[in-house]
Each structure stands twice: as structure tokens, then as C-alpha cells.
Structure 1
């Protein structure tokens, strides 16, 4: 193991995404994961349009689409609440906005198991030059030295300029740093099983993709893994201090949820492991940065799984941080010393408020679907995933995104068949109106320093970006609007951008 510029700790969805984004920007990156292999559990069963936009930048969207599962699309997804699967069902409003999202993105929500996405991310990270080491645990990180323990208990020390902690809700890195969390806190541990059981008799011809159930106890669910009603994920609230149930007890739990005594086969998730526990709660770290260490994903924010917001938010964390680390490491536009530190500080300033907002939305959906109590206002998914605005606590309705500084630049189809979303990723982009030639001289030196490229929009596209024919818009590598000018004499910029 040789030294690296950035060490990523944690080989789940967020950590692997970070490794891909860093390597794509040319950063010398190494990822370590204490488990010996990826977790074989579907968890988040789809990728939202915003995640697909980010994966599209690094060449992964076609692979994800090719690996999509033959399962319910967002518009046909059926969720119910019931005592058992065999009992009477109450259908739940899923706040479905799949058709609404299609107008705002060139990407569509894609049904695909998270473990499949993680395989694709691992392979892409390696293709791009990232070094991935499973069975390797971070023991300590101090003064730029990482103490790693690999297979066979072999200890190694490597140097790294920065460390990115994607090591989960119980993040040992966050605990070592003494970073506390804010919010409601931990709710319960979720005991989860992958099962094969023919539950069609319990369904009685009904279609169910997700069932929130009262038995064998609170917070129980059955999530279908196929269209035939034969493969499922079972989950229920569990006492973290209780011994791991044996196979006989696991079968009894599943049968109680189904409401009928059917044969049940428990499938492995990690080599040698059939039962897993996940922490369920709602909290956000008090800071996402401590010197050269950054928190992303569940290490930074824990969200109820309802809605699939945790994974999507983690991918956006990784994307936001990766271009900033790359820019500082390359010294773009003089980003060294205090200037580089100021840019890296914006990671916490931008992403932590988004995490608080998204956590509240995930919590509201969890309360609604389990019928616990009256939830807070539920905002449509497109606005949650696309409408956040850096520098403001108030999101922008996805339909109203029109180039406001601090927001995601809107999707507009281009004459060549691409989307404006496809212009972003590797560097800054200066979008000008059709009569924006004056900006060329004004921005020549700045554009060179920022490694920016210029692109002239047609009148309608310029209008969708909130600029007049003589206006311009500067978009960051992560697709966020950094600045907007109505004419060379009038402009606005966003906090921290």
C-alpha cells in the first residue's frame, strides 16, 4: 500500500461513489473497507434522477440502466399498511412524482438493488485508478498517517493528505474525533433478513411491493424482490442487546408477518452471515469537517430508510466534496493555503443544512407510512432531491429552478440531443445568452484560472436559466449555479460559491 492524496474509509454506496468521483477528477485515491466483500442486500432499491445525473458524468448511467431490475417502476409501486400480509390492506399514498420529475432531468428514477450499484461503482473506481482494499480497517489517523490493519492482522501505515469517512452510522472516525450529533437520535435497531418464501397465498391475488405491518411487532415490513411474490426482504424493530435469533426464530418472525405458516428459506447477505442489523434513527453531525477529515453519508447524517433519501444524499455529499478536494490538490485558480481551506469549508456549510432538511423529510415519511403520529409537511421527492439551495434554508420547487445562485442548474434539452446537465462535471462552465459576446473579454482571465469553458445558449434555453440575451451564468463542476449576471454591469452570486 503506497501513500495517497485522499483515503476513503468505507466501501458502501457513499464511499465507493466518492472513490469514483475523486478518481474521475484525477485524484490519487485509496479506499479501505473492513468487511471482506460487499453486502449482498438490496437496501435502497432504486436510484433517484439526481444520483443518475451524477453517475452519468462519470460514465456509469448506461451500466446502471443495463442492470436495472424487472420490478415495479415508480408509477406502479404499491405500498400498503396492514396487520399482516394476509390481512386487509390499506393502500398508502406514496407521494409519487415520477412523471413530474421527468420534466426536470434527463435521467429517470431507476429500479436497481443497491448491492448491484455498489458492484458497478467498485469496478468503475478501479477502472479510473482508485485502489480498493477489502478486509482492511482504519485503526487511527493522525498527522497525515493512517494506521491500517489488513487481512491476517497485518498492520501498515500510509500517508494521506485528506481522509473521507464513509464508515456508517456508528462511524468510528466520527467518534474518535469527538464529533457529536444533533436531532432525535437513535430509534431502534432493524433486524433484517433476505428470504425465499412463496407468499402468494397471503397476497390473495393482490399486488404489493412494500408492506408496513403490525406483526410480529412494531416497525415490521416485507419488501418484495420480484414480481412473483417469492423473494422478499423482511425487517422488524429489534433489541440491539438481544442475542441474534437462530434460524428457527427467524422463520417464526417471517411467518407472523405473513399471517400464514409457509416454508421460509433464509439467504446469506455477507459470507457466513444471514442476519444483519441496521441502526434506524435521525441525526446530523454537528460538523462535517475536522481539519483534514471529512464526514459523508451515514457517518454525517442518519435518516430513516423510508424514501431512500439517505443513500441519495450521501452520493451528493461525495460529489460536492470530490471536486473541491480535486481543485485544492491541483491548485486551481490559486486554491492553496487559506483559499483552499476556505473552499473546503464550504462542504460543511453547504451540505449540513441540506442534510437537516432531507432528514426531516425522511422522518415525516416514516411517521406517515408506519402510522405513528401526524407527520410534518411532506414535500414532493423532486423538490427534496433537486430543489435544495445552498446558502438558504428554503428549498426551491423543482418546477421553479431557473438558474438561481446556489441551486442546481436546470435541465434544458440542447439541439444536439444532449442536456445542459451534460455540460457539467470536469470544470466550471460559463453559460451566456445569445448576445453575450461581451462576457468573453470580461471573463477571459477568470475563465482560464477556473479551467472554465463557455457555452452560448439559444434564447429559450437562456430564459430557462433566468438570463437575458446579454446575460451569463457560471456553473460549478457539480452543476450548482455559482453566479448569475443579467448583463456585464449587473450580477449576483451565491454564498460560498
Structure 2
């Protein structure tokens, strides 16, 4: 059997898998993606991504394209969830404490929420991954996986031609969805309530302008044709929609939802009895117009086993309320990619990879709990779990791992209160040229020093050279024209902050040190799991 080689094999070519391919290829890691379907699904699935997710995609050059492909042509996207009996009835806004922000989000991020559907975003990611050199293969199904101390051998089947082959990889990322076959093979169990209910979805063409009457809608949660129904616009004209409704797979199957039946359900949901309704295929090259999806909540008990890592829905699932799911998967990939690149390129020890589970699994649990709380709030009019500030969930989460030496704090922080606390995403702070200090991050370690912190900066540069690790130092007010940078980062004129390649704060020294070289050397060795 022919065996090919790659550094990282990604199983699953949807949102998380393609994101992993982009982030890895951007760091010059050889990456191969295998996907069992013939092409990308035409189903939108998610409606948008959070500002933090836009930030990480800006790092790989996708910011302008995302804004262009977002609804309203890159204008300010506002997601408006509503409740009603039918689309034509009066709406009840879904009031959530987490969205009642008293501070303009632009004060804590240069990136706005992007109202881009998943199918559009996946096209951008695929194009960018290929542009960066990623190898993406469709109709390729993984049938077996065997790992040893040196790597992973994956057996694949060509679903078009029927032949078998093998791919040898240093590491594998399982981004193969909620029912992850690889997670099952690894024997990793999940915790959580599991499947809450099942839905069928359809992309429909129907002119619902008479029901909408010019009102702004992000998603409408409806009681017709049955509870747990929803409609979401899929364009700006009000003529293409994503329709979804719950069903019981013990009593009926997806195949029972014929074109005629779904069309009638859309009429009931819209409150317009006489409209024309047509359904679009959702899988390229087929006439499949109705898909079934389980809505549930669980988190894997571990995000990795040996050289195999779970990401996205393979690691955790949650209800779509809150819009955390897709963004969580993209940020899983972002967190893992720089660590894999560091290990593969020889400037970090393999222990760094253990911090992926230590950092992302607690966040997966937080996102699941908060999505579950919002599910109760939107669908049933009340949440059983306290709703945290939205910016704290999406921007202010905090890592506690060996890659953040000495930090044990994990309580999320509202984004406006981010001050370079260790384990948090480094704060956005404007520069004189109209940019953001966030633009410094994404490639290497960055050390920001106060305006009297030249010794920190020189030490960081020399130490990085000696250790074979890129560390780019900047003295605030000298190397970077910005005002108030020290206060924004919680340091004095003699202090410094070390920011990881993913933009999270690894360490903060609020003032000078007797031996800055010893301090930074210990921090870098700890973060990178290097011995000696």
C-alpha cells in the first residue's frame, strides 16, 4: 500500500479543519486535509463570527475578505435574535443581559462582529489554505488510525475510485465533527447533557418580504409550524432563507420531509399561505435538499491522545445560541497551530502540546455552558445558568497552563477590563498610525516594554537569539508611537509584557528586575517546555 508523508494531517475539511490548515500553512508547516464529502456543504450553519475570531483570521490575511463577504457588504453587522409565533407576527426581541454592553466594542477590538455564513467563510479559508500550500483532498475517507512514538499512520480510502492508501503524519488533528469517528477510536468519552433534540434544515427560496416588512432579523425563533422552529435570512434581499425545525427521529426520518412538506412548513412559519417556495440542494453534486442535525451539548474528557488532537465539534458541541460554536472551533485550531509549529520547527519541547488541552478544554466547557444558558433564554424565555457578559465569554477568557507560568486564575474578564493579565488575550490599544498593538502578534513572541524598559527589550532580543526563538521587542513610546500603552498593559515605565504568538499574555513584570535575563529565560523555557 502506497504511503505518503506530511507533518500534520487534518481529518475533516469544514470550518475547523480548513482553519487549522490555514494557520499551519501560514507557519510553513506541511499540512494535508482529507474530507470524505465531494465538496464543501452549501449549508450556512453559522451566521457569524466573534470579534476575537476575526482578529485571528486577520493575522493570516483574511480580514478584508471577511468584511467584504459579510452581510451588508462589510458594514456594521448586528445580530438580532427575535421570538414570534410566525415571521409575519409582531416580534418579541430576545433580551440578553450579555448584549447590554455600555461600552462600544470598538474600544476593545479593532475587529467587529462579522455576519458571514459558514459556507462563505469556508470558501475563503479553502482558497487561502491552498494559496499557502496546503494539500486538500475530497472524497477521501479515513478508515483506520495507528499511532506510535514517532508518528501516526492513517489508512484512507478513495471514495471515488475505491483504492486504499496510507498517510504518515507527525501529528493528526481530528476535526471530523460531532460524531467524531476518531474520538471513538481513541476511546475518549464526553461529558454533558448530550443530544437535546434533532432538527431538519433546508435552504429555501421564497419571497418573504410581506412577512418581514422591512424589519431587521438575525434569526427568528418561531412557534410555527411547531416549537423549536427558526428562520434565518441567507441574503440581504429577503428571498433566500435557512429554515429549521425540530423533529423526533424515533417517529420520523429526514426522508419523510419531502419538498412539498417542507414548503408547506415554510408557509406556516412565515405566516404567508400563498407564497411560492423552492428548496436548494445542500450537498454539491446531489439533489439532497433536507439535512438532519442533532442539537446537543457535550465536551470531550480529553482533547488529545498521544499525537492525535481533537478540535471543533469533535472536541465539544453546544447549541448554536450565542454563536460560540464556529468561533470556538477556529480558535481551537489557532491555539494548536502555533504550538505544533513550535514543536515541529524545534524551538519548543513536546510538552508544549499538553497545554492545548489545559487551555482549550476549560474554554470548551465554558462556551458549552453559556450556549446552553442562552438556548434556554431564547427558546424558553429563561436561563437556568447565569449569563456572563458576552465579551467576557468571547474575548475575556483566561488560560491557566504551563504556557502561562504562575497563573492559576481562570475567571473570564469583561473585554473592557483586559489589562494584559497573564493568560488573557493581550489588549487592543490604538497606535498613532491608526492601527492596533494587536497587529504585532501572530508570528512570534513579542515583548512590550515601558518607556524606560530598554533593558527588558535588549535582554529579550539577545535571549531569543541565544535560544533560537524569535522574540521581537518594542519599547512603548519609542519603537511604537502610542499613548497610554503602559496603563493599558498594567505596567510601569520599567515594566514589560511577554506575548505569545497567539496573542495571549505569557508573563507580565510590572517593574524592573535584578536579573532580567534570568527571569525571561525561565519564562521562555517554561512556556516552551524546554529542559535546561
TM-score under structure 2 length normalisation: 0.88
User: Are 1:454 and 2:473 matched, yes or no?
Assistant: yes
Q: Is the 8 A contact 2:79 2:115 kept in 1?
A: no
Structure 1 equivalent of residue 57 of structure 2:
55
Structure 1 equivalent of residue 278 of structure 2:
265
Equivalent position SS for 2:10: strand
Structure 2 unaligned segments of length 5 or more: list them.
401-408, 478-482
Structure 1 equivalent of residue 84 of structure 2:
82
Structure 1 equivalent of residue 502 of structure 2:
478
Q: Is the 8 A contact 2:77 2:115 kept in 1?
A: no
Cα offset for 1:73?
Answer: 6.4
Q: How many residues align?
A: 491
Q: Is the 8 A contact 1:181 1:284 kept in 2?
A: yes
CA shift in 2, pair 1:258/1:38, >3 Å: same
Q: Distance in 2 between matches of 1:484 and 1:385?
A: 22
Cα offset for 1:75?
Answer: 6.5
| More off after superposition, 94-103 vs 310-319 | 94-103
Which of 97, 104, 107 is residue 100 of structure 1 equivalent to? Answer: 104
Q: Distance in 2 between matches of 1:477 and 1:386?
A: 17
Instruction: Give matches, 1:14-413, under 5 Å.
Output: 14-70=16-72, 77-93=79-95, 95-96=98-99, 100-143=104-147, 144-150=152-158, 151-204=160-213, 206-241=215-250, 242-243=252-253, 244=255, 245-261=257-273, 262-271=275-284, 272=286, 273-332=288-347, 335=348, 340-371=349-380, 373-391=382-400, 392-413=409-430
Q: Is the 8 A contact 1:75 1:96 kept in 2?
A: no
Cα offset for 1:445?
Answer: 4.4
CA shift in 2, pair 1:202/1:474, >3 Å: same
CA shift in 2, pair 1:379/1:438, >3 Å: same
Structure 2 equivalent of residue 437 of structure 1:
454
Q: Is the 8 A contact 1:185 1:283 kept in 2?
A: yes
Q: Distance in 2 between matches of 1:364 and 1:73?
A: 29
Structure 1 unaligned segments of length 5 or more: list them.
none
| More off after superposition, 482-491 vs 400-409 | 482-491
| Residues 43-76 of structure 1: per-residue CA shift (max 9 Å, x gap) | 2222221111111111111121222222796675
Q: Is the 8 A contact 2:157 2:165 kept in 1?
A: yes
Q: Is the 8 A contact 2:295 2:318 kept in 1?
A: yes
Cα offset for 1:496?
Answer: 6.2
Equivalent position SS for 2:353: helix
Equivalent position SS for 2:9: strand
Q: Distance in 2 between matches of 1:225 and 1:342?
A: 44
| More off after superposition, 145-154 vs 61-70 | 61-70
CA shift in 2, pair 1:12/1:410, >3 Å: same
Structure 1 equivalent of residue 406 of structure 2:
none
Cα offset for 1:341?
Answer: 2.6
Equivalent position SS for 2:202: strand
CA RMSD of aligned residues (A): 2.2
Q: Is the 8 A contact 1:70 1:226 kept in 2?
A: no
| More off after superposition, 383-392 vs 193-202 | 193-202
CA shift in 2, pair 1:302/1:202, >3 Å: same
Cα offset for 1:97?
Answer: 6.0
